C-alpha cells in the first residue's frame, strides 16, 4: 500500500497488521522538468511551448531528483508483493499522484485505488474491502491545471524579469490574488475621508441605565459613516451634523425633556453554521486563533494523520450518518435533551464548483473524543477544539431571544436653528438591544462576523442589553456627549477575508489558497502589517503591467471561467486539450489579450512581444498632491522629484501611507542633496548622508559641489567588491562601466564614500557613524610576508582580506574592532573552519525563542550574512522585512520555519530554477506551503 506521508504510513500499518507493507511516496514523485537540462534526451528535438510542455500540449514528466531513491524503494517492495493498493489522498492531486506512481512503477500485480476520509481502524478496513479503479477524469483535470500553470508562469515570468525585476513570478491564480490586494490598496489611496459628528446620551430609567444615539433632527436623519461615498460625499438624504452644531446641541439636550416614543420587540433566532469545509476552517482559525492559512493546514494535516479529524481538503459540509449519530449522542450527554433537535440538521454546500464529494471536516471516528481527552497541546489542541465545537454546534438547537428597538424623543425648551436641519424643538434618539432566552448552540460556539467595512471580528456579542421600557415613559439624561468621527477606507484583506473573496469569485481551489498566500508573501508582493496583507510597490508595478498588456489573464471572470472548465474536465464533461488550446491560442470568443500571451513563448522571440511595454511608465506612480513619484527600480523602490532629488521609501510603509506630506519629509532625509552630518576634521570637507539607486550611503563633498554622482557609484562598487559572489562583482563592474566609458576625459577626484551597514538607518546616522564608515576599508597592518591585511564590508558580510584570501567576520561591529592578530588567525584557518568560528562568535548574540511545536527543536534568531534569520539547527528561514529580530516571537518563527520546510530544498541558482513551479513538497509529504504548486 502506498500513501503520501510517512506519518500516515505508520498509523495505517498499525491498523492493517501482518500481510501489508505500507510505504510513503512523500508527495509527488514526478513533475514537469524545471529547466531544459532536465528534459530527457528523446524529447530534446521536440517542439516545446515552454519547458516540459510539447507543441501538442502533451507534458514531459521526469522523476523529481529527490524522489529517485523513493521510486527505487517502492519498486523493491512491489517486487515482493502480490497486490498494489494506491491509497493517496482522495482529491484530484491525490488521484494524480496515484496515476504517476502507476506510470512509473509499472506494476505486474493487480492494482486498485483505495480512498478513505479518516484514519481510523474501521475506515481503513472498509477502504481495503471496497477498492475502486483510478478516476482518469480527475487525473486529466489535475494534469490540465498543472500545464496551465506552467504555460502561464513560464511565459509571463520572464516578462516580469525584464520589465520589473529579476526573481519575480507570475501565476494563474497568484497574480489575480495580488491584483485583489492591490485593487484594495488603490481604493484606500483614492479614498477621501469625511468628517461628521454624532451625539450619544447616557439615559436613566427606573430599571437601569442605557445608551442612545442621535438619529434625526426635525425628522431629517443624521448622517453616519455609511452615508458617505469613497470621495467623502453624502450619497443619500441624510444630513451631516457638523462639530459646531453638535457642540451647540449638547447643553440644550442636557436640559431637554426625555420620553420613550416607541418600543418594538420581536423574536430573534440564531441558527448554527454548517460544519467546516477547508475555506471556512481557514477563515475561522484566522479570526479566532490568529492562524495563517498555511499554519491552519499544517496543523490540520497533523491532526488528520494522527487519526483525530477527517480529511481537511474538502468542499463538502455534509456529515455521515456515523458522524451525526456521534454528535447527537454527545450533545445529549453533555448538554441534555433540550439542546437536541428532533431531527438531524442537513446543510447545503454553497460552493458552486465543489470538488469531489467528501465529508465535512469533523472529529474522526464513531464517537468524538473530547478535546481535553485527546492528549493534545498547543496548536493541535486549539484547532481540534475549534473543529469539535463547530461540529457539535452544527447539530444543536437554535438559540432563541428577543430583539428590542426603542425610539426616544428629546424635547428642547425652545425651537433651535441647527445648521443643515433647520428650526426644530425635538431630536430623536434610538437604542437597540437583544436578550437571549435560550442559548442553544451558542452555549458551545459563537460565529465570527465580518463588519460592513470589511474588518474581521471574532464575536457577534456586540449588542447591548436594554432595561424594560414602556412607551411614554419619562427618562433622565445623565450625560450627553458630542462625538467627532471620520469615515474609514475599506479594510485591507486579511488572510481569512482574502480566502473568502477568492472563494466568492470562484477563483482557485480551497486546497491551494494557503500556498498562494505563502507565495505572494515570499515573492515580496505582499507583507503583513498586523493581520492585514499589504501590497508592496513591486506588486503595484507587476499588476499594472499585467493589467495593461495581459488584462484578460488577470481578469476575475476569466480566471473563474478557467476554474469551471477544470471542474467540467473532472466531471467528464470537457477535454483538457480543448481547454489548453482555448487558453493558449484563444478562441473566437476570446479577446486579443489571450492571443497576445501565446506570442510570449518559445515559438517567437521574446523580444518581439516586449517592445511595446514601457517598463519605466509601468513602474512609476504619481503621489497625489505633489510633484513626486514613486519608482520601482531594479534595485528597489524610491521617491523621485521633478528636479531629480531622490529618497528612500521605508520597506514597512504601506502605499496608502505615502501621502504628499510624508513623501516630502522622506525626501528631505536623503535626497540627492543629502543631509549634512558635519565636517570631517581630517579633510575639512562636509560629510553628507544620501540615498542613491543602490541604497543609502555617506560621502564627503567639496564645499562648492553639493552633488557627487560618482560617489554613489563608488558606494555601490565598495559594497560589491567582496569576492564571495562572482555575479555581484560582475554586476558592480557593469554599473561602474556605464560611467567609465569616457575615461579619456579628466576624471573628478573620487571622494571617500561608503554604503551604510545593514544595522544603520539613514534618518538616524550621526557624524561619528559616518566617519567610521568612511574609514573602511581599514588596514589592520602587515602580515609576516609583508602583505597588507584589511577589514572591509562586502555585499553579504564583513570580511578580512590578505591578497587573494578572504574570511568572513561574525558581525559588522567587528569591522571596527578586529585586530591584526585575530585577522591572521582567521586567515590561517580553512574557509569552512573560519566560517564555523565566525558563526560561533555570532551565536553568542543569538536569542533563543523556545521549542518548535512541530519538531521539538530549539528555535534561535540569529544575524547572518543575508540578514536576520531563525533556525532550529536544521532549517533556516530569513525574517521577512518588517519583522524585528529583537521582538519576533516563537509562533511567528515556527511558522516561517514550517513554510521553509514545506518548500523543500532550494533549487540550484540560475535562470531556469527561478521559473520552477509547483508540485508537492518532497520533504514533508503534505500539501502545505508551496507544495501545492504555483498559483
Query: Which residues does the annotation mark as catalytic?
Result: 311
Q: Is the dihedral of CA 495, 500, 505, 509 positive or negative?
A: positive
The dihedral through the CA atoms of 735, 738, 743, 749 has a sign that is negative
Cα angle at 64 between 63 and 66, to 5 degrees? 125
What is the grid cell recorded at 136? Answer: 482518469
Residue 853, Ramachandran bin (φ over 0: left; ψ between -120 and 50: alpha; else beta):
alpha
Given a contact cutoff of 8 angstroms between Cβ atoms, the answer to whether 23 and 73 are in contact is yes
CB 896 within 8 A of CB 879: yes
Secondary structure of residue 677 in the 3-state scheme: strand
Cis peptide before 664 (omega within 30 of 0): no
Contacting residues for 410 by C-beta, under 8 A, at least 6 apart: 201, 253, 256, 257, 258, 426, 427, 428, 429, 477
Half-sphere exposure of 732 (CA within 13 A, CB side): 19
CA–CA separation, 824 vs 41, rounded Å?
51
370-398 exposure pattern, b = at least 16 Cβ within 10 A, e = fewer: ebeebebeebbbbbbbbbbbbbbbbbbbb
Is-contact 715 709, C-beta < 8 A? no
Alpha carbons within 13 A on the beta-carbon side of 840: 7
Phi/psi region, residue 483 (left: phi>0; alpha: psi -120 to 50; beta: rest), is beta
- Here the cell at position 869 is 534569520
Q: What stretch of H or E contains 407?
A: strand 399-418
Cβ-proximal residues to 97 (8 Å cutoff; 6+ apart), any chain: 4, 25, 27, 28, 29, 88, 89, 920
3-class secondary-structure state, position 862: strand
Cell of 735: 554599473
The three three-digit cell numbers of residue 442, written as one number: 451558542
| CA gap 697, 716 in Å, rounded | 9
Whole-Å CA distances, 535 to 136, 183, 653, 692: 40, 9, 10, 23
What is the enclosing helix (H) or strand (E) of 231? none
- In the block, cell 521609501 appears at 649
- For residue 124, give the nearest of 15, 33, 215, 49 by alpha carbon: 15
**Other beta carbons within 10 Å of 868:** 17
User: Which residues are CB-contacts of 681 (< 8 A; sequence separation ≥ 6)?
Assistant: none
Distance CA 315, CA 303 (A): 18
Angle in degrees, CA 752, 754, 759, rounded to 5: 155
Q: Which of 247, 570, 282 is nearest to 448 (CA)?
A: 282
Give, as one character, the DSSP assignment of residue 368.
P
β-strands 805-808, 695-701 pairing: unpaired
Burial of 462 (0-12, 13-18, 19+ CB in 10 A): exposed
C-alpha 609/C-alpha 371 separation (Å) is 59
d(CA 641, CA 627): 6
Distance CA 524, CA 881 (A): 9
Amino acid at each position: 500500500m502506498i500513501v503520501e506521508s510517512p506519518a500516515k504510513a505508520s498509523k495505517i500499518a498499525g491498523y492493517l497488521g501482518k500481510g501489508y507493507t505500507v510505504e510513503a511516496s512523500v508527495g509527488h514523485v514526478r513533475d514537469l522538468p524545471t529547466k531544459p537540462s532536465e528534459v530527457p534526451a528523446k524529447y530534446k528535438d521536440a517542439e516545446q511551448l515552454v519547458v516540459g510542455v510539447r507543441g501538442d500540449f502533451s507534458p514531459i514528466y521526469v522523476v523529481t531528483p529527490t524522489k529517485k531513491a523513493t521510486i527505487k524503494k517502492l519498486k523493491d517492495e512491489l517486487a515482493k508483493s502480490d497486490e498494489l493498493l494506491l491509497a493517496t489522498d482522495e482529491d484530484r492531486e491525490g488521484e494524480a499522484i496515484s496515476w504517476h506512481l502507476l506510470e512509473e512503477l509499472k506494476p505486474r500485480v493487480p492494482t486498485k485505488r483505495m480512498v478513505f476520509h479518516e484514519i481510523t481502524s474501521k475506515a481503513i478496513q472498509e477502504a481495503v474491502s471496497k477498492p475502486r479503479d483510478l478516476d482518469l477524469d480527475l487525473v486529466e483535470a489535475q494534469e490540465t491545471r498543472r500545464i496551465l500553470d506552467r504555460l502561464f508562469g513560464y511565459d509571463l515570468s520572464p516578462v516580469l524579469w525584464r520589465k520589473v525585476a529579476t526573481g519575480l513570478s507570475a501565476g494563474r491564480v497568484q497574480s489575480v490574488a495580488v491584483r485583489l490586494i492591490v485593487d484594495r490598496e488603490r481604493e484606500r489611496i483614492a479614498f477621501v475621508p469625511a468628517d461628521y459628528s454624532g451625539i450619544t446620551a447616557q439615559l436613566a430609567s427606573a430599571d437601569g441605565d442605557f445608551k442612545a444615539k442621535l438619529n434625526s433632527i426635525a425628522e431629517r436623519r443624521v448622517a453616519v459613516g455609511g452615508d458617505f461615498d469613497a470621495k467623502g460625499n453624502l450619497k443619500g438624504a441624510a444630513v451631516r451634523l457638523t462639530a459646531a452644531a453638535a457642540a451647540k446641541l449638547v447643553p440644550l439636550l442636557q436640559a431637554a425633556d426625555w420620553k420613550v416614543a416607541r418600543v418594538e420587540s420581536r423574536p430573534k433566532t440564531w441558527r448554527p453554521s454548517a460544519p467546516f469545509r477547508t475555506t471556512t476552517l481557514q477563515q475561522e482559525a484566522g479570526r479566532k486563533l490568529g492562524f495563517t492559512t498555511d499554519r491552519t493546514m499544517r496543523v490540520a494535516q497533523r491532526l488528520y494523520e494522527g487519526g483525530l479529524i477527517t480529511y481537511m481538503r474538502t468542499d463538502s459540509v455534509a456529515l455521515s450518518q456515523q458522524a451525526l449519530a456521534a454528535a447527537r449522542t454527545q450533545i445529549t450527554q453533555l448538554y441534555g435533551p433540550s439542546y437536541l433537535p428532533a431531527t438531524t440538521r442537513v446543510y447545503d454546500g454553497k460552493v458552486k464548483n465543489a470538488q469531489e464529494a467528501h465529508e465535512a471536516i469533523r472529529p474522526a471516528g464513531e464517537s468524538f473524543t473530547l478535546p481535553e481527552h485527546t492528549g493534545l497541546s498547543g496548536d493541535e489542541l486549539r484547532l481540534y477544539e475549534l473543529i469539535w465545537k463547530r461540529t457539535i454546534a452544527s447539530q444543536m438547537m437554535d438559540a432563541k431571544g428577543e430583539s428590542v428597538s426603542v425610539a426616544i424623543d428629546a424635547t428642547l425648551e425652545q425651537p433651535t436653528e441647527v445648521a443643515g436641519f433647520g428650526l426644530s424643538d425635538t431630536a430623536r434618539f434610538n437604542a437597540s438591544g437583544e436578550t437571549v432566552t435560550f442559548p442553544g448552540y451558542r452555549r458551545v460556539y459563537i460565529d465570527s462576523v465580518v463588519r460592513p467595512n470589511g474588518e474581521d471580528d471574532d464575536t457577534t456579542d456586540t449588542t447591548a442589553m436594554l432595561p424594560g421600557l414602556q412607551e411614554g415613559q419619562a427618562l433622565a439624561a445623565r450625560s450627553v456627549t458630542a462625538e467627532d468621527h471620520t469615515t474609514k477606507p475599506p479594510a485591507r484583506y486579511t488572510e481569512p477575508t482574502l480566502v473568502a473573496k477568492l472563494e466568492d469569485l470562484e477563483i482557485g481551489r480551497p486546497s491551494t489558497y494557503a500556498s498562494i498566500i505563502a507565495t505572494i508573501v515570499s515573492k515580496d508582493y505582499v507583507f503583513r502589517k498586523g493581520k492585514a496583507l499589504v501590497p508592496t510597490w513591486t506588486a503595484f508595478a507587476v499588476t499594472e503591467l499585467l493589467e495593461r498588456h495581459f488584462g484578460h489573464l488577470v481578469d476575475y471572470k476569466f480566471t473563474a471561467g478557467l476554474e469551471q472548465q477544470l471542474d467540467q474536465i473532472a466531471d467528464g464533461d470537457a477535454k483538457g486539450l480543448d481547454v489548453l488550446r482555448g487558453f493558449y491560442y484563444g478562441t473566437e470568443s476570446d479577446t486579443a489579450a489571450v492571443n497576445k500571451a501565446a506570442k510570449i513563448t518559445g515559438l517567437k522571440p521574446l523580444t518581439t512581444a516586449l517592445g511595446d511595454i514601457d517598463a519605466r511608465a509601468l513602474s512609476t506612480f504619481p503621489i497625489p498632491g505633489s510633484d513626486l513619484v514613486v519608482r520601482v527600480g531594479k534595485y528597489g523602490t524610491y521617491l523621485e522629484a521633478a528636479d531629480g532629488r531622490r529618497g528612500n521609501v521605508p520597506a514597512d510603509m504601506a502605499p496608502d501611507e505615502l501621502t504628499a506630506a510624508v513623501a516630502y519629509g522622506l525626501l528631505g532625509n536623503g535626497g540627492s542633496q543629502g543631509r549634512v552630518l558635519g565636517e570631517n576634521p581630517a579633510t575639512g570637507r562636509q560629510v553628507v548622508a544620501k540615498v542613491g539607486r543602490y541604497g543609502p550611503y555617506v560621502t564627503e563633498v567639496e564645499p562648492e559641489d553639493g552633488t557627487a554622482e560618482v560617489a554613489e557609484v563608488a558606494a555601490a562598487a565598495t559594497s560589491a567588491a567582496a569576492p564571495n559572489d562572482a555575479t555581484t562583482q560582475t554586476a558592480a563592474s557593469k554599473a561602474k562601466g556605464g560611467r567609465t566609458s569616457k575615461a579619456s576625459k579628466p576624471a573628478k577626484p573620487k571622494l571617500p564614500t561608503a554604503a551604510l551597514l545593514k544595522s544603520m538607518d539613514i534618518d538616524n546616522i550621526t557624524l561619528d557613524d559616518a566617519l567610521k564608515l568612511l574609514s573602511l576599508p581599514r588596514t589592520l597592518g602587515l602580515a609576516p610576508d609583508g602583505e597588507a591585511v584589511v577589514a572591509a564590508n562586502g555585499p553579504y558580510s564583513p570580511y578580512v582580506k590578505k591578497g587573494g584570501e578572504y574570511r568572513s567576520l561574525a558581525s559588522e561591529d567587528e569591522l571596527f574592532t578586529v585586530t591584526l592578530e585575530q585577522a591572521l588567525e582567521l586567515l590561517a584557518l580553512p574557509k569552512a573552519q573560519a566560517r564555523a568560528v565566525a558563526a560561533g562568535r555570532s551565536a553568542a548574540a543569538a536569542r533563543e525563542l523556545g521549542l518548535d511545536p512541530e519538531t521539538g527543536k530549539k528555535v534561535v534568531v540569529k544575524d547572518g550574512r543575508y540578514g536576520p534569520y531563525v533556525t532550529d539547527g536544521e532549517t533556516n528561514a530569513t525574517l521577512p522585512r518588517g519583522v524585528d529580530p529583537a521582538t519576533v516571537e516563537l509562533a511567528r518563527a515556527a511558522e516561517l520555519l514550517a513554510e521553509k520546510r514545506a518548500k523543500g530544498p532550494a533549487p540550484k541558482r540560475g535562470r531556469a530554477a527561478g521559473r520552477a513551479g509547483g508540485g508537492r513538497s518532497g520533504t514533508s509529504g503534505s500539501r502545505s506551503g508551496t507544495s501545492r504548486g504555483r498559483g
